């Protein structure tokens, strides 16, 4: 599904409400920017389309999630009442307080790859692959496969595609003992 050139192909959605009105948030597939970094577009129904950037597709994806939370917070301070349709918190990461290789289109297990980064950790170089969030077969929740350093894929889950993606980012950071905002940093 394509919304516009700014958002591109939609890879994840989240349903929220503004008071009693349902609102759809859609995130686009990260893409390589002209400067070699990454960009990721998103749309919040009724508020517009936005583009986040980063040093690569992982950073752009994370920045889009941060920006979605910031846009909703700003809108709430201007009279909107955004909440997630389920009982959980909005769940978007907060902006940090401190401060390009071609990407394959599929992972080794056949899942659609949306982001890839090579990290330099204390243990040496490490490849992180993040798959496209999808609905779990026969279930009401969503999953997001990820792979660290070619090992068998791990699966994160969430009530929607965005929550599954956020869970994958948090699980990757926890497994590699990285700071919460690791997608924004190129260093370990």
Give the H or E element holding residue 165.
helix 161-175
Provide the domain limits for residue 122. 113-184
Which pLDDT score is estimated for 132? Answer: 95
Instruction: Answer whether residue 28 is part of any domain.
Output: yes
Instruction: Answer whether residue 167 is part of any domain.
Output: yes
Which pLDDT score is estimated for 124? Answer: 84
Instruction: Answer whether residue 95 is part of any domain.
Output: no
* Cβ-contact 157, 178 below 8 angstroms: no
Whether residues 123 and 67 share a domain: the answer is no
Which pLDDT score is estimated for 104? Answer: 40
Strand partners, 15: 24
Domain count of the chain? 2
Give the H or E element holding residue 120.
strand 113-121
Residue numbers in the chain where pLDDT is lower than 50: 1-3, 86-88, 97-109, 187-188
Strand partners, 64: none
CA distance 58 to 127: 12
Instruction: Answer whether residue 102 is part of any domain.
Output: no
CB under 8 Å, gap of 24 or more: what pairs does 110-117 form?
111/145, 111/153, 114/11, 114/29, 114/30, 114/57, 114/61, 115/30, 115/56, 115/57, 115/58, 115/61, 116/57, 116/58, 117/56, 117/57, 117/58, 117/183
Instruction: Answer whether residue 94 is part of any domain.
Output: no
Which pLDDT score is estimated for 84? Answer: 63
Which pLDDT score is estimated for 4? Answer: 57
Which pLDDT score is estimated for 109? Answer: 47
Which pLDDT score is estimated for 105? Answer: 41
Whether residues 80 and 118 share a domain: the answer is no
């Amino acid at each position: 599904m394509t919304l516009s050139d700014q958002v591109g192909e939609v890879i994840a959605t989240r349903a929220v409400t503004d008071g009693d009105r349902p609102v759809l948030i859609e995130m686009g597939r990260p893409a390589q920017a002209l400067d070699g970094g990454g960009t990721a577009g998103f749309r919040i129904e009724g508020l517009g389309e936005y583009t986040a950037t980063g040093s690569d597709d992982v950073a752009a994806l994370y920045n889009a999630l941060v920006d979605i939370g910031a846009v909703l917070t700003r809108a709430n301070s201007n009279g909107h009442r955004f909440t997630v349709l389920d009982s959980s918190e909005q769940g978007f990461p907060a902006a940090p307080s401190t401060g390009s290789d071609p990407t394959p289109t599929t992972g080794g297990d056949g899942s659609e790859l949306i982001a890839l980064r090579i990290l330099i950790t204390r243990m040496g170089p490490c490849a992180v692959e993040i798959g496209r969030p999808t609905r779990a077969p026969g279930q009401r929740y969503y999953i997001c496969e990820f792979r660290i350093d070619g090992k068998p894929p791990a699966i994160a889950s969430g009530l929607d595609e965005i929550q599954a993606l956020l869970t994958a980012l948090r699980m990757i950071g926890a497994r590699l003992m990285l700071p919460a905002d690791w997608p924004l940093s190129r260093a370990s």
